[in-house]
Amino acid sequence: MEDQRLRIGVAGAGVMGRNHARVASELREGRLTAVFDPDGATAQGVAEAYGADAFTDAEAFLSSGIEAAIVATPNRHHAELGVALLERGVHVLVEKPIAADLEGAQALIAAAERSGAVLMVGHVERFNPAVEAVKRSIADDDIISIQITRVGPFPPRMGEVGVVIDLAVHDIDIVRHLTGSEIVDVQAQLARTHADREDTALLQFRTESGVIAQINTNWVTPFKARILQVATRQKFVVADLITRTVTENFGFQKDGSYSTRMVNAWPSEPLKKELEAFVEACLGRAAPAVTGQDGLKNLEVALKCLDGR
């Protein structure tokens, strides 16, 4: 009996590409059939691990019969490869950031509109159970402020971008996701200490709805931390995005006392939830969870942060 599952290819077999290949190989309604990477040994190694075909030539990958593709190549290749896939009617999940520049992002969006194929952007933190729990917790309340800390040691694999594009773009998306409002004011303080690009950033924003937000991110902290804090009129919610623990503080009294409770964050792998949502969109059952326009807006804000370079 012919396998009717969605045929999925992964372009780029680096750290994220290998993760995508692993998860794609486990999907109930999708199957990994192709892995593309210019490095033959890398492509072959990942493909063999998951029973897929290896490709070192982009044109051969495009012609391999895939119905959907995950683009996890370096940022500078996102637009060119993504557009080529979309123009062939192949659904595309492109890793964040959507592209290296706004022109590339707009080209991807236009190609998806012309072809009717799905374009989704891989902002995986939207699928973090802790972020989902925070969104549920504050759903009926007015947000006052958001503060996000995303810090850690310098990653040896990073070479093309600094912390704003690599790390802060996650949190720009979280701010937009939680508030449902666009960022209209950007103030950025950047520093370069150990890297060729900014490795420390303190970013401040205001959304159209009046929420103020701050992102503190760097590659100079010796340990990794991912903390989200949201102040609303009724609560102060704290989430650890690594341990996925979420705490609500509420019932504030004049004497300074208050109540605390833990919020359930159901255990699940964010990347798996992201790929499952992508497959649902490819099969026409849902709209893309993170649209091309979302990716464009996040990149636009990130690039504004870098304007003072």
Average pLDDT (106-123) is 98
pLDDT band at 308 (very low <50, low <70, confident <90, very high): low
Nearest to 268 by CA among 26, 95, 9: 26
pLDDT band at 193 (very low <50, low <70, confident <90, very high): confident
Question: Given this model, what pLDDT does residue 195 score?
Answer: 72
Digit-coded pLDDT (tens) for 198-234: 999 999 999 999 999 999 999 999 999 999 999 999 9
Q: Are strands 220-232 and 143-153 parallel, antiparallel or unpaired?
A: antiparallel
What sections of 209-308 are H helices per DSSP?
Answer: 270-282, 292-305
167 pLDDT more than 60 = yes
105 pLDDT more than 90 = yes
Q: Which fold has domain 6-124+271-291?
A: Rossmann fold (3.40.50)
**CATH superfamily of the domain spanning 126-268:** Dihydrodipicolinate Reductase; domain 2 (3.30.360.10)
* Count of C-beta atoms within a 10 Å radius of residue 247: 15
Average pLDDT (85-94) is 98
* Residue in the block written with tokens 């605390």: 260
pLDDT band at 156 (very low <50, low <70, confident <90, very high): confident
* 196 residue type, one letter: D
Cα 40 from Cα 47, distance rounded (Å): 10
Cα 108 from Cα 301, distance rounded (Å): 18
pLDDT band at 2 (very low <50, low <70, confident <90, very high): low
* Residue in the block written with tokens 């699940």: 268
Average pLDDT (6-27) is 97
Nearest to 31 by CA among 60, 89, 70: 70
7 pLDDT more than 50 = yes
Q: What size, in residues, is the chain?
A: 309
Bond before 74 cis per omega within 30 degrees? no
157 pLDDT more than 90 = no
Helix (H, G, I), strand (E, B) or coil at 302: helix
CB 47 within 8 A of CB 35: yes
Average pLDDT (120-132) is 97
Digit-coded pLDDT (tens) for 257-279: 999 999 988 789 999 999 999 99
Q: What Å distances lie between residue 62 and 14, 30, 123, 126, 196, CA to CA? A: 19, 18, 24, 29, 35
Question: Given this model, what pLDDT does residue 266 score?
Answer: 79
Share of the chain above pLDDT 70, in %: 98
Question: Given this model, what pLDDT does residue 194 score?
Answer: 77
Question: Given this model, what pLDDT does residue 1 score?
Answer: 62
Average pLDDT (50-60) is 97
Give the start-to-end residue ranges of the domains of the chain.
6-124+271-291, 126-268
41 pLDDT more than 50 = yes
133 pLDDT more than 50 = yes
